[in-house]
Amino acid sequence: MSEYGKLLFKIRVHPTLWFVIGIAILTAHFIEVMMLLLIVFIHEMGHAVCAQHFKWRIKSIQLLPFGGAVETEEYGNKSLKEDLAVVLAGPLQHVWLIGAAFLLYFFTIIPYELYQPFLYMNLMLLIFNLLPIWPLDGGRLLFIGVSLYCTFLEAQKHTLHFSAVFAFLAFFDLAHSGSAQFEHLAHHLFHKSFTRHGMAAEVLCVHPLSFAAPLRAYE
Ligand SMILES: [Zn+2]
């Protein structure tokens, strides 16, 4: 089996995710939750395949109830160029997913009812994930940018400080916007930016159910 095929054996499904899937079935959100899981899975595989390409040691590809994470055993020992490629490989997946979905919809292979939430989820994940907050991909890009001007440890410190300030602002801004969905996301993000300082893992911090709820409005 190829090195890339072996990645599939590193996929870990967090036990609480089954609980979320169970709730999704009970509340008739099954399709939305499965769709989101698929998108998160492809996003994480983007990071994983790119990391594998550079021969990084990958510990696990995790599917969590609030997103996903690729855990590697590389702690700042890889070049910024490789780092940049691995970070970008996640968000880039949404670009082709949106393109493919558009083509499928355009040629009436999938109905609007599937296309619309799929597009919405991809755009939400892409935008949310690029916020300059650690450990989101946007926070990683910020870290890489700051690294160009100072040492690794200084860059780490500055990134975490900036993340905390930005998460704090985002929390108040989004919470005041009155959208329960954004409030939920902002809360998750705010919490994570302070508690998760591990530099090798990625967390999307997006709860599938927070996406499923507003989707019903489009039906
Ligand atoms: Zn990512």
Q: Is residue 76 part of a domain?
A: yes
Sheet order of strands, 67-72 included: 11-13, 58-64, 67-72
Element (H, E) at 64: strand 58-64
| Centre of ligand 1 from the C-alpha of residue 69, in Å | 7
Q: How far is the CA of 180 from the centre of ligand 1 (A)?
A: 24
* Alpha helices (runs of H) in the chain, residue ranges in sequence order: 15-26, 30-53, 80-106, 112-129, 137-147, 152-176, 180-195, 208-215
Indicate whether 90 belongs to any domain.
yes
Radius of gyration of the chain (CA): 17
H or E stretch covering 70: strand 67-72
Q: Ligand 1 centre and the CA of 165: distance in Å?
A: 21
Two structure tokens written together for 62? 């995790």
Ligand 1 centroid from CA 31, angstroms: 22
Spatial CB neighbours of 192, under 8 Å, sequence gap ≥ 6: 135, 203, 205
* Residue 149 CA, ligand 1 centroid: distance in Å: 24
Q: Is residue 116 part of a domain?
A: yes
pLDDT in tens, 56-95: 999 999 888 768 889 888 877 888 899 999 999 999 999 9
Give residue 136's domain range.
8-218
pTM: 0.78
Question: What is the pLDDT tens value at each position of the chain, 219 positions in all?
Answer: 788 888 988 988 888 888 888 888 888 888 888 898 999 999 999 999 999 999 999 999 988 876 888 988 887 788 889 999 999 999 999 999 999 999 999 999 999 999 999 999 999 999 989 999 988 999 999 999 999 999 888 998 999 999 999 888 877 776 666 556 555 665 555 554 443 333 334 444 343 333 333 332 222
Whether residue 65 is contained in a domain is answered as: yes
**Helix 137-147 to helix 80-106 angle, to the nearest 10 degrees?**
150
Q: Give how many domains the chain has, as a whole number.
A: 1
* 127 within a domain of the structure (yes/no): yes
| 1 lies in some domain | no
Catalytic residue list contains 71: no
3, 32, 44, 71: the catalytic one is 44
Q: Is residue 114 part of a domain?
A: yes
Q: How many Å is the maximal CA-CA distance in the chain?
A: 52
